[in-house]
Amino acid sequence: MIGFGLTAVLLIAVVPMLVNASTEIAEITGLGTGFVGTALLSLVTSLPELLAALAAMRMNAFDMAVGNLLGSSVFNMLALGIADFFYLDGRFLGAIDDNFVLVGLLGLLLTNMALVGNLARVERKFLFIEVDTIATIIVYLLGMYLLYIRGIGA
């Protein structure tokens, strides 16, 4: 519990610096804060789940790896609902820029694709990657491209 508490305090201290750094990257590159936040910040904040999933895979606990990744996405969606409850100036989701609806829909779509791909257990592979995984990667890349050309949060 002490380690968890210290790590939580460390995160509370470091996250504002991470957000400021991503804002500076957006200004320097001209990509827009929304795109950088969606692309880079989401990557950095997902690294703990990726490392936990890789560790689970090394232990041949594949269900734990999938549960960790999908559970994290589902929990983040739940956290938005909880944040709405505690937001006192109206609706929390109403205060978010309308352009980020696309980001939320992309997250829902990718999570659902991963869930369906896991449940379907289709064994068709292209080279060494299953087809549903390739489809998820393609949708992610197309979604990021769409965010880029739309100039989300520019």
pLDDT of residue 152: 61
Helix axes 42-58, 62-86, angle to 10 degrees: 150
Give the residue numbers spanning the domain of 118.
Answer: 2-150
pLDDT in tens, the chain (154 residues): 898 889 889 988 988 888 888 888 888 888 777 788 788 777 777 788 888 888 998 999 888 888 887 887 788 778 877 888 888 888 777 777 766 778 888 888 888 888 887 777 767 767 777 788 888 889 989 988 888 887 665 5
pLDDT of residue 102: 81
Number of domains present in the structure of the chain: 1
pLDDT at position 129: 75
